Amino acid sequence: MSGDGSIPKNESISLDDNGHAAIANLDPALLSAVRAAAVDAAARGVVLKVTSGWRSRAYQQRLLDEAIALYRSEKEALRWVHPPEKSKHVTGHAIDIGPTDAADWLVRFGADYGLCQTYTNEMWHFELMTEPGGRCPQPDRPRDRVTG
Ligand SMILES: [Zn+2]
C-alpha cells in the first residue's frame, strides 16, 4: 500500500504522481521547487525521479526497525535512520531524488531553486533551505545525523 508513502527499494515515482501519498503529502513549497528544477533538468536531458517523499510515522518507524534488525544495534541504526519525530520526511519537508545523475544535477544546481543537499552522506536527500538563488549551508557531517 502506498497510503503510508512507501516506495519500494530501487523503485522511484514521478514528481507528477499526485495520487501517491509520498507526493500528495509533501510540503507544497518543496514540491513546487523540485518541480521547477525538474523542468530545467529535463531540458538538459536529466530526469528527476522521487525515491522517497513524505512518509507516515509508522513507515518511518518501520525503516528504523529494519535498520535496528540489520545492524543489531539501536545506537548504530540511529546513526543512519531518524526516528519518526526527527525525520523531515514525516513532516513532508524532505525529498529523495534519483537516479544518481539526477541527484548529482540537483546537488550542483538545487540552490537556484532553494534546494539543498542536507547530509554529506546522502547526495539524494534535499530540503528547502535557502531562497532561490541563495547559498546552501554546508551539509551536516554523517556523525551529526542519520537517514532521512
Ligand atoms: Zn531523505
The β-bridge relationship of strands 115-119 and 49-52 is: unpaired
Q: Structure pTM?
A: 0.91
Burial of 41 (0-12, 13-18, 19+ CB in 10 A): buried
Strand (E) positions, the chain?
Answer: 49-52, 95-98, 115-119, 122-128
What pLDDT does residue 1 have? Answer: 47
Distance 133 CA to ligand 1 centre (A): 22
Beta bridge partners, 81, equal: 147
pLDDT attached to residue 147: 59
Which tens digits make up the pLDDT trace of 92-127? 999 999 999 999 999 999 999 999 999 988 999 999
Q: Could you report the per-residue pLDDT of 30-79, keeping only the tens digit for each? A: 999 999 999 999 999 999 999 999 999 999 999 999 999 999 999 999 99
Distance 22 CA to ligand 1 centre (A): 12
DSSP letters, 37-53, are HHHHHHHTT---EEEE-
Query: CA angle, 127 as apex, 122 and 130 as ends, to 5°?
Result: 125
* Bridge-based pairing state of the strands 49-52 and 95-98: antiparallel
Radius of gyration of the chain from Cα atoms? 15
Q: What is the distance in A from the centroid of ligand 1 to the CA of 3?
A: 18
pLDDT band at 2 (very low <50, low <70, confident <90, very high): low
What is the pLDDT, as a whole number, of residue 146? 55
Phi, psi of 118 (to 5 degrees): -90, -35
Q: Where are the domains of the chain?
A: 21-55+90-144
Cα-to-centroid distance, 55 and ligand 1 (Å): 10
Phi, psi of 147 (to 5 degrees): -60, 120
Domain 21-55+90-144 sits in CATH at 3.30.1380.10
